[in-house]
């Protein structure tokens, strides 16, 4: 038993962190705020070349043949760097949708609406998508995004996640049954959780850096316990969620060590909470500056809210854990 990151996993994380720092620095990502397309095809193919989408696909299918633990480590870095785009859906669609694995096609996903016509369906990144997966309770279906009667949303909560609205979502062509749908949801919890943990960890760094630098009453605000304890709680949330996400990922790879469904649901639940709470706290630690557009604190919170929507709801995840406890 060794639950630290292996040398290979550390190398994977370092590699992805370097790629993000070089290709997706925050100022370049932010240049696309409010645009209909937030990541260009060359950026997407660099992610594909790094194996972001094909990482878990078997080698004979053109993938890297790595496990979910390796993917979690990579996704954490993508979350930390705030890299935009339908990363999670495209990764989960590898092997299921032609062109997803090698980055030729951007794949999005949307939950199948539960009550027909109850609420408009909101689709992320539709303008960039080559395929759209509809995730239902018992099936996965595939839609052609170009054929949808979609209206672009003027303004999205996360300026780096453009949205479209459709009133009616066609059934689409079946591409997976109940097991595929269950696996999609489970893996979305873990790898979406990894993206969220990356966001949660990034906000700790951001808040702590500001608390060290900002001075009031003649000293850094980070020397006041009221601020210190906010930062400490942020670290606790991100480290606890991180352990949960890593354990869930390893349990998917090593099924004998536990209940992967329970671990995945719990990991998603805690990761959503950590990223949301840390995003809010990060704004608070920044004071008035945290409420300005210029300071990026809000981007982490809004992205967390987007990712929370890609997972099942927190109530559903909590009930899943309770059922299997």
Partner 1 sequence: MDLRYSESEESFRSGLREWLAEVLAKLPPKPSHLDWPGRRAYDTTWQRMLFDAGYAGIDWPVEGGGRGASPVEQLIYLEELERAHAPYVGVNFVGLLHAGPTVIVEGTPEQRARFLPPILRGDEVWCQGFSEPGAGSDLASLRTRAERDGDEYVVTGQKIWTSHAEVADFCELLVRTGPEDSRHRGITWLILPMDRPGIDFRPLRTIAGSTEFGELFLDGVRVPVANRLGDENDGWRVTMTTLSFERGTAFVGEVLQSMELLRGLRAIAQSTGAWDEASVRRRVGHLGAELDALWALARRNVSQAARTGVPGIGGSVYKLALSELRQRIADLGMDLAGSAGLVFGDIPGARNGPVGNLEIVSTWVHSFSRTIAAGTSQIQRNIIAERILGLPKG
Cα–Cα distance between 261 and 167 in angstroms, integer? 33
Cα–Cα distance between 270 and 175 in angstroms, integer? 30
Name which of 243 and 306 has its Cβ closer to partner 1.
243
Provide φ and ψ at 36, rounded to 5°. -80, -25
The minimum distance between CB 245 and partner 1, in angstroms, equals: 9
Three-class SS of 275-318: HHHHHHHHHHHCHHHHHCCCCCHHHHHHHHHHHHHHCCCHHHHH
Give the DSSP H or E segment for 45.
Answer: helix 41-49
The minimum distance between CB 71 and partner 1, in angstroms, equals: 12
112 contacts 138 by C-beta, under 8 angstroms: no
What does DSSP assign to residue 121? Answer: E
Name which of 160 and 197 has its Cβ closer to partner 1.
197
Name which of 162 and 222 has its Cβ closer to partner 1.
222
The minimum distance between CB 232 and partner 1, in angstroms, equals: 4
Name which of 3 and 22 has its Cβ closer to partner 1.
3
304 contacts 199 by C-beta, under 8 angstroms: yes
Among the listed residues 261, 284, 265, 206, the one whose alpha carbon sits nearest the alpha carbon of residue 238: 206
Structure tokens at 125: 């990144």
- Write the DSSP assignment of 201-232 as a string of letters: HHHHHHHHHHHHH-EETTEEGGGSHHHHHHHH
The minimum distance between CB 1 and partner 1, in angstroms, equals: 5
| Dihedral, CA of residue 133, residue 136, residue 141 and residue 146, to nearest 10 | -50
Name which of 52 and 231 has its Cβ closer to partner 1.
231
Name which of 147 and 209 has its Cβ closer to partner 1.
209
The minimum distance between CB 148 and partner 1, in angstroms, equals: 34
Name which of 139 and 224 has its Cβ closer to partner 1.
224
Give the binding site for partner 1 (CB under 8 A).
1-6, 9, 69, 204, 208, 211-212, 219-220, 222-225, 227-229, 231-233, 235-236, 239-241, 243-244, 246-247, 249-251, 254, 256-258, 262-263, 265-267, 269-270, 315, 317-323, 325
The minimum distance between CB 2 and partner 1, in angstroms, equals: 5
The minimum distance between CB 194 and partner 1, in angstroms, equals: 12
């Amino acid at each position: 038993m060794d639950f630290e990151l292996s040398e290979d996993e550390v190398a994977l994380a370092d590699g992805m962190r370097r790629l993000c720092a070089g290709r997706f620095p925050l100022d370049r990502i932010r240049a696309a705020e409010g645009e209909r397309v937030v990541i260009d095809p060359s950026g997407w193919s660099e992610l594909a070349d790094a194996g972001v989408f094909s990482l878990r696909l078997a080698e004979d299918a053109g993938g890297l043949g790595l496990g979910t633990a390796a993917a979690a480590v990579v996704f954490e870095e993508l979350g930390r760097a705030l890299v935009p785009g339908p990363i999670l859906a495209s990764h989960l669609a590898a092997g299921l949708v032609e062109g997803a694995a090698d980055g030729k096609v951007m794949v999005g996903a949307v939950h199948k609406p539960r009550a027909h016509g109850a609420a408009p369906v909101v689709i992320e990144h539709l303008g960039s998508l080559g395929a759209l997966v509809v995730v239902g309770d018992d099936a996965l279906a595939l839609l052609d995004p170009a054929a949808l009667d979609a209206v672009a949303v003027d303004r999205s909560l996360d300026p780096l996640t453009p949205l479209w609205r459709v009133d009616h979502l066609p059934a689409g062509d079946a591409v997976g049954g109940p097991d595929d749908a269950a696996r999609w949801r489970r893996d979305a919890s873990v790898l979406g959780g990894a993206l969220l943990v990356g966001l949660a960890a990034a906000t700790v760094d951001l808040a702590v850096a500001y608390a060290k630098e900002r001075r009031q009453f003649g000293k850094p605000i980070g020397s006041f316990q009221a601020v210190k304890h906010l930062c400490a709680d942020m670290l606790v949330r991100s480290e606890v969620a991180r352990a949960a996400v890593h354990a869930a990922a390893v349990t998917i790879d090593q099924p004998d060590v536990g209940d992967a469904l329970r671990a995945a649901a719990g990991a998603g639940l805690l990761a959503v909470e950590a990223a949301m709470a840390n995003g809010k706290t990060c704004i608070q630690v920044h004071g008035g500056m945290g409420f300005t557009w210029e300071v990026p604190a809000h981007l982490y919170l809004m992205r967390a809210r987007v990712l929370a929507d890609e997972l099942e709801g927190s109530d559903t995840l909590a009930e899943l854990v309770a059922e299997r406890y």
